[in-house]
Structures are given as C-alpha cells and as structure tokens.
Amino acid sequence: MNRLPRWLLVALAIGPVTGLAIFYAWPFVTLLAEAVTATAITDTLSRRSTWEIVWFTVWQAVVSTVATIVVGLAPAYVLARFDFRGRTVLVGLLTAMFVLPTVVMGAAFLALLPDSIDRTVWAVIGAHVVFNLAVVVRVVGSLWEHLPTDMEAAAATLGASRWKVATQISMPLVRPAVTAAATIVFLFTFTSYGVIRILGAPGTRTIEVEVWRRATQLGDVGGAAVLALLQLAALVAIVSWSTVAQRRHARAIGLLATSARRRPRTSGEYRFVALIAGAALLVVAAPLAALVLRSFSTPTGWSTTAWTDLGESEIRPGIRLGIDPVEAVVNSLTNAAWATAFAVIVGALASLAIVAAGRAGRALDGGLMLPLATSAVTIGFGMLITFDTAPFDWRASWWLVPVGHALIAVPFVVRTCVGVLRSVDPALVGAAETLGASPVRAWRATVVPYLWRPLAVGAALAASISLGEFGATSFLSRSGGETMPIAIEQLLGRTGSVLQAQGFVLATLLAAATVVLVVIVERLQSPLAGRAGR
C-alpha cells in the first residue's frame, strides 16, 4: 500500500503534523524554557513542600495501586473463570467506572462518604481503587480467562488446598499481567488530579495539583513548570523501567484459544461467585447511587429543586459567585462538538497517512500518542503560557479549549482507525489495480471506505473525553466559559447545600452522558471487533 503518490501523503499528513507542532511541541518547548532558569529550579528543589508533595504523590499512588490489585484480583478471577447471569453487566459497569470523568468519580465518593472522611486521603484512595478496578479485571482477567486449568486441577488432585493452589500455582502464572495492571494503575494514580481536586483537603496535593496551584493561584509559573517537568521525568522513568521489567519477566505460557469460563458447579463455588460478584457490584454501584441520591437531597428533605432550579445559583440577593450550571452544560456541549470535529478530522487524516506511509507513518503515530503520555495539566499549562503574545495570543479564542481536548482525543481516534485500516486486505488494492485503477483510485475505493465506522467510534470517544476533560480545561477555560467538570469542582468546593446539590446534578448528567457514549462505542465496535478477529 506504499504506492500512493507523495503529494497525497503530504496532503494527508500536513494538517496533523502542523497541529501537533503548534499545539504540542511548541508549548512543550516553552515549558522547558520557562523551567530552565536557575532560580526556578533551585527555588523549587530547595522548598521543603516540594519534597513533601513528591512523597505524598508517590505513597498515595503506591497504596492506591496495592489496594486496587488486592481488591481487584478476586473479581478478576471470578469474572474470568465463571459464567453467571449478570456477568456481562458487571463487566460493563466496571468498565463504565473506568471511563467516568475524574471529577464525577470524585463527586460520587464525596456523595458516598460521611463528612468526617470525605476530604481525606482515604477517600482519595478509595476513589482510585474503584476507578481502576476495571484495569485489574480486564488486564489480569483476560490472561486468567485463557490460562489452561490443567495445572491447577493437577495440584488440586494431588491434594493441594484451594489457598495453596491460588498462591502457588495461579498467582505465579498471572504475575506478568498483575505487574502490567499495577503499572497502569500506578501511572493513573501518580498523575491523579481531578479526584484530588474534589476529594482532597487543601493540604492534600499531588505534583499535578501543585502545578495547578502554583501556576493559577500563586502565579509562580517557573515553579509550576519545574514541577511539571519533574513529573514528566518520573513518568518516563517509570514507563521505561516497566517496559524493561516486563520484557525480562516475559515467559511463554500455552494459552487457550477459547475461554476457560464455565458455570459454577459446587454450592461452594456458587457461594464464592455470588459473594465476590455481589461485593464488586456493591463497590461500583454504591458511589453512583449516592451521586444520584445526593442530587435530590436538600436540608429540608428529598426534592427535585436542584434539578428544576439548576440556573439559580444565588446565595444572597444578587450574589451568584459567577457559577452558572446551565451555562456550563451549554459550554460543555459546544466544546465537545468542536473538539470532536477537530479530533475526527485530524485523526482521520493522520490514520490514513500512518497506514499509507510506512516508517514516516510510524513516526507520526508515535508523535500523536505523545499528548496521551503527557499529563493533561501539563498540556493545558503549556498552551496557556505559550499562546499569550501577539500575534499568537489565543487565550481568549473560543477554539483553544476544544483544541486542547482534541489533542488528548486524537490518539483514541487514531488507535481506533489505524487498526481497522491495517486489517484491510492488500489483495483488494491489488485487485482494484489489476482492473485498471490508478493507485490513488484503488486506495480510495478499497481503503478509505473502511474509515467511516471506526471514525464514528472515535467521534464518540472524543466527545466523551471532551465532556469529561478537567486537567487542561482548568488552565484554559476563562471566567464565564466554565465547562461542566469545572463547574462541578467549583460547586462541590462550596459548603452551601443548594450549591452542592447542583454540583451533584451536573455530575449525574455528566456520568449519564459518558455512559451513553460508551454504550454507543461498544455497540459500534463489537461487530467490528469480532470481524477483526480480536
């Protein structure tokens, strides 16, 4: 497929490349330049709080990761090994939790926990665990599901207890998957931002939160830049280490082509499955239920006031705090529409270019993935301090927030599309050419038509990412242009019960919108996924 004329490849790639250069590379360079001043570095590194924040960031991530693995292994096992009614629903629910916007997860835990612990690190860790359960269930579960059961059966036959089988046979076999899941969870919790902005006390700060605080509250741009780079360096180190470690520990296991799932047989198995599945369901459903309930809760009892009077955020005659929940919904929808359009256009062009262009295509692919590896906070912060001088002063432009969202969404569009495009049978192109079509015509008739369906999936993903995006938006949105996640954080930061209830209303709406989009993605994707043989 590498026979497309060069002009076409250039035409396809130039948009994505330019966009990446302007909105990712340039802000990144600005950030570096901002941080590399001697005073910013020495000030930051000599500040005691810097190291306390680093320490907090690390330990809460470690504790969250360990807790997630511990809590997640049993459901991962049950969901991988047993068939039971409601299994699909439970997997779906767990996955839905994983894709919920961070502020919604924070809000759900705020709603669930009693006041005495809802702004502590334990609330944060609890939210991290529920958030990331799906990672363990999916990553470890997918291995467990295809792991031959004969070794376990043999051990049991030889008289090993259930516990012994689990610890001595099963665990060593799934360890690579556990390590992989732990790495993913650690990365997510290490860069946690939205959950902590909602659930953390003022003193509970990860590096990510401190970048935001220094830049937007204290006006210490240099110090914030140093911290952003410090975090990026840590991320690179962790990812490199885990890549090496996984390669070293890789081992060959004969996996089954089909699933090893079966219905529980003994009454003990039934009870075990029911207990674990029930507990998992409770852990996932309780925060969501609490979220919805709290949106109906007022000091005088149950009421739909917060829903019906969503536009009334007055706390005193005339004093509205500048938060308008209804306007936030409108802003979010507008931003999401544009972000989706940008992400789909750029993602489509990039995917076609990546598939058609060989090595250069792989470079473009890698480049477009970079924003995903960079934290959203870093992206938003970089854009804010880059586009502030004429003629590139774009801080007030309506499209800056959607472009930031698109930057984060493009990797998802590309991943969805490239896989499908790569699976197009090259024989089709050959056949078209044999029948006399020019290379461009053959490409157009055979490859391009496959783009539309994955693009629809990508569009739904992009929309859900934009709706829930909080990190970059917390830097880029201007007063009056607040999106739903920003408004949720502001409303829940207040103690007035009406404002809190309104925050929960917005969080409920956002959760519902996300779930709908995820369902659309699954619907669009499932027949396709089946066809691609995954």
Q: What part of residues 266-295 is at the interface with another protein (CB under 8 A)? A: none
Using alpha carbons, list the distances in angstroms from residue 377 to 39, 217, 247, 298, 422. Answer: 23, 14, 31, 34, 33
| Residue number, 113 or 403, with CB nearest to another protein | 403
Instruction: Kindly identify the residues of this chain, within the stretch 182-211, that bind another protein according to CB under 8 A.
Output: 201-203
Q: Is 116 helix (H, G, I), strand (E, B) or coil?
A: coil
| Residue number, 162 or 531, with CB nearest to another protein | 531
Q: What is the per-residue binding string for another protein in 429-448, x denoting contact by CB under 8 A?
A: -----------x---xx--x
Token pair in block for residue 457: 């999936």
| Residue number, 185 or 421, with CB nearest to another protein | 421
Can you tell me the distance from the alpha carbon of 330 to that of 471, in angstroms, rounded to the nearest whole number? 19
Least separation in angstroms between residue 52's CB and another protein is 7
Q: Is 316 helix (H, G, I), strand (E, B) or coil?
A: strand
Q: Which of 392, 512, 516, 526 contacts another protein by CB under 8 A?
A: 392
| Residue number, 114 or 391, with CB nearest to another protein | 391
Q: Which window, 75-83, 172-180, 227-235, 525-533, contacts another protein (CB under 8 A)?
A: 525-533
Q: What sign does the CA torsion over 77, 83, 86, 88 have?
A: positive
Can you tell me the distance from the alpha carbon of 369 to that of 451, in angstroms, rounded to the nearest whole number? 19
Which residues does 130 contact at the CB level (< 8 Å), separation at least 6? 97, 105, 109, 283, 284, 287
Please name which of 376, 385, 410, 409 lies closest in space to residue 193, comparing C-alpha atoms. Answer: 376
Instruction: Kindly identify the residues of this chain, within the stretch 32-61, that bind another protein according to CB under 8 A.
Output: 47-49, 52
Q: Which of 80, 420, 432, 511 contacts another protein by CB under 8 A?
A: 420
Q: Which window, 119-127, 139-147, 272-280, 395-403, contacts another protein (CB under 8 A)?
A: 395-403
| Residue number, 62 or 445, with CB nearest to another protein | 445
Q: Which window, 83-91, 118-126, 185-193, 387-395, contacts another protein (CB under 8 A)?
A: 387-395
Instruction: Kindly identify the residues of this chain, within the stretch 317-356, that bind another protein according to CB under 8 A.
Output: 317-322, 342, 345-346, 348-349, 352
Radius of gyration of the chain measured on its C-alpha atoms: 25
Number of residues near another protein (by CB under 8 A): 79
The reply to whether 119 sits near another protein by the rule CB under 8 A is no
The reply to whether 529 sits near another protein by the rule CB under 8 A is no
Instruction: Kindly identify the residues of this chain, within the stretch 16-35, that bind another protein according to CB under 8 A.
Output: 16, 18-19, 22-23
Q: What sign does the CA torsion over 319, 321, 325, 331 have?
A: positive
Least separation in angstroms between residue 280's CB and another protein is 34
Please name which of 306, 307, 305, 310 lies closest in space to residue 328, comparing C-alpha atoms. Answer: 310
Phi, psi at 191, each rounded to 5°: -100, 20
Instruction: Kindly identify the residues of this chain, within the stretch 213-232, that bind another protein according to CB under 8 A.
Output: 213, 215-220
Instruction: Kindly identify the residues of this chain, within the stretch 482-501, that bind another protein according to CB under 8 A.
Output: 493-496
Q: Which of 89, 330, 393, 435 contacts another protein by CB under 8 A?
A: 393
Would you tell me how many other CB atoms lie within 10 Å of the CB of residue 423? 14
Token pair in block for residue 415: 């991943």
Q: Which of 428, 433, 439, 520 contacts another protein by CB under 8 A?
A: 428
Can you tell me the distance from the alpha carbon of 416 to that of 524, in angstroms, rounded to the nearest whole number? 11
| Residues linked to residue 301 through DSSP beta bridges, in sequence order | 298
**CB-facing half-sphere around the CA of 145: CA atoms within 13 A:** 17
Q: Which window, 59-67, 275-283, 304-312, 476-484, contacts another protein (CB under 8 A)?
A: 476-484
Least separation in angstroms between residue 323's CB and another protein is 8
The reply to whether 158 sits near another protein by the rule CB under 8 A is no
Contact predicate 377/211, CB 8 Å: yes
The conformational region for residue 263 under phi > 0 = left, psi -120 to 50 = alpha, else beta, is beta
Least separation in angstroms between residue 3's CB and another protein is 16
Least separation in angstroms between residue 479's CB and another protein is 5
The reply to whether 366 sits near another protein by the rule CB under 8 A is no
Least separation in angstroms between residue 458's CB and another protein is 14
Least separation in angstroms between residue 349's CB and another protein is 6
Using alpha carbons, list the distances in angstroms from residue 399 to 23, 95, 336, 340, 472. Answer: 12, 31, 11, 12, 13
| Residue number, 159 or 533, with CB nearest to another protein | 533
Least separation in angstroms between residue 340's CB and another protein is 13
Instruction: Kindly identify the residues of this chain, within the stretch 296-315, that bind another protein according to CB under 8 A.
Output: 315
Least separation in angstroms between residue 482's CB and another protein is 10
Token pair in block for residue 519: 């369902």
The reply to whether 394 sits near another protein by the rule CB under 8 A is yes
Least separation in angstroms between residue 380's CB and another protein is 11
| Residue number, 146 or 395, with CB nearest to another protein | 395
H helix and E strand count, the chain = 25, 2
Least separation in angstroms between residue 359's CB and another protein is 22
Helix axes 497-531, 102-112, angle to 10 degrees: 130
Q: Where are the beta strands (DSSP E) in 305-376?
A: none
Can you tell me the distance from the alpha carbon of 175 to that of 18, in angstroms, rounded to the nearest whole number? 42
| Residue number, 355 or 518, with CB nearest to another protein | 355
| Residue number, 114 or 533, with CB nearest to another protein | 533
